[in-house]
């Protein structure tokens, strides 16, 4: 969320912790100040059909050399969660 504040739902969190990443997501995240606290909200970016998986782009920042591989299958998949195509890695397309 900021350089000093991160969200880590690996041990506990709301139902939002189960939302998967997509390089072509149907939701976006927004930071909101609520009182004196910074909150993260997830909002629909396009019409979401009943039964459709809710996704957003993690824009994940890796702290190590190893990047998590994305297999979302979208036409514009970058192959990882930070939105930057891996060097030497083709942009996959299974759609
Ligand atoms: Zn992807």
pLDDT per residue over 21-41, tens digit each?
A: 999 999 999 999 999 999 999
Cβ pair 41, 29 in contact under 8 A: yes
Taking the centre of ligand 1 as the mean of its atom positions, its distance from the CA of residue 71, in whole angstroms, is 5
Residue 21 CA to residue 89 CA, distance in Å, equals: 19
Name the pairing type of β-strands 20-21 and 55-56: parallel
Query: What is the chain's mean pLDDT, rounded?
Result: 84
58: pLDDT strictly greater than 70: yes
Residue 86 CA to residue 76 CA, distance in Å, equals: 13
Predicted local distance difference test score (pLDDT) of residue 90: 47
Taking the centre of ligand 1 as the mean of its atom positions, its distance from the CA of residue 91, in whole angstroms, is 9
What does the pLDDT average to over 51-64? Answer: 85
Residues with CB under 5 A from ligand 1 (ion): 23, 70, 72, 77
CB atoms within 10 A of CB 24: 14
Predicted local distance difference test score (pLDDT) of residue 44: 97
């Amino acid at each position: 969320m900021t350089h000093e504040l991160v969200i880590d739902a690996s041990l506990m969190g709301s139902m939002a912790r189960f939302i998967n990443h997509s390089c072509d997501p149907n939701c976006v995240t927004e930071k909101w100040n609520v009182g004196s606290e910074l909150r993260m909200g997830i909002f629909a970016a396009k019409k979401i059909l009943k039964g459709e998986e809710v996704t957003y782009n993690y824009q994940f920042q890796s702290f190590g050399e190893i990047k998590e591989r994305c297999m979302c299958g979208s036409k514009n998949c970058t192959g990882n969660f930070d939105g930057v195509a891996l060097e030497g890695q083709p942009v996959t397309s299974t759609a």
